[in-house]
Amino acid sequence: MAGTDAVALLADVPFFEGIDNKTRKAVAQAGKEVSFKAGDFVVGEKGVGVGFYLVLEGRVEVRKGSKVIATLGRGQFFGEMSVIDGQPRSADVVATAPTKCWVLPAWSFAGLIKAHPEVALPMLKELVKRLRAAMSSPVS
Ligand code: CMP
């Protein structure tokens, strides 16, 4: 991949903050950029998860059936759940605008966390934030 935008974006993303430029470049090149049109399913619920996604531009919705549970934009991530535990995807993720993502394969994701465990803490913080939001939303 060209990598330039991903390198710049990774510099902006809190969980890649602790990584030096050289490593960040290598990490950026381990992934690839993928584009989606508005309406495209980026990830399908119950599908097998082989990638971790970071939004480079555009917008996606995380959906459970017809319910929108989150909207994510530039610098936000999704797809980490299946990549971490190997279970099927927990939700659909659908582009709601022309969207570009940086996608890191599962095996590279594991390698990244092992080589740079410092990226895990900000990611955990974001996951806790999402868990709290999910716990405080009304049960339907
Ligand atoms: P994964 O299960 O691999 O694929 C669907 C993704 O949707 C999931 O990973 C998370 O990244 C994302 N997701 C699931 N639930 C929520 C939520 N409550 N808030 C934000 N994102 C979520």
Ligand 1 lining (C-beta closer than 6 Å)? 43, 49, 62, 69-70, 78-82, 89-91, 93, 130, 134
Q: 95 pLDDT exceeds 80?
A: yes
Q: Does position 2 have pLDDT exceeding 60, yes or no?
A: no
Alpha carbons within 13 angstroms on the beta-carbon side of residue 59 total: 7
Contact 86, 57 (CB under 8 A): no
Report the nearest-CA residue for atom 6 of ligand 1: 79
Atom of ligand 1 nearest to the CA of 91: 5
At residue 35, the pLDDT reads: 96
| Mean local confidence (pLDDT), 79-94 | 95
Tokens standing for residue 116: 């740079």
Token couple for 134: 């999910």
pTM recorded for the entire structure: 0.90
Ligand 1 atom nearest residue 134's Cα: 18
d(CA 63, CA 54): 17
- Of all residues in the chain, the percent with pLDDT exceeding 70 is 94
Distance from the alpha carbon of residue 26 to the mean position of ligand 1, in angstroms: 26
Task: Tell me, in angstroms, the distance from the centre of ligand 1 to residue 19's CA.
Answer: 25
Instruction: State pLDDT tens for residues 32-58.
Output: 999 999 999 999 998 887 899 999 899
- What pLDDT does residue 39 have? 97
SS3 35: strand
Domains (range + CATH), the chain: 4-122 (2.60.120.10)
- Rounded mean pLDDT of the chain? 88
Average of per-residue pLDDT across 66-92: 94
Instruction: Over range 76-94, report the average pLDDT.
Output: 95
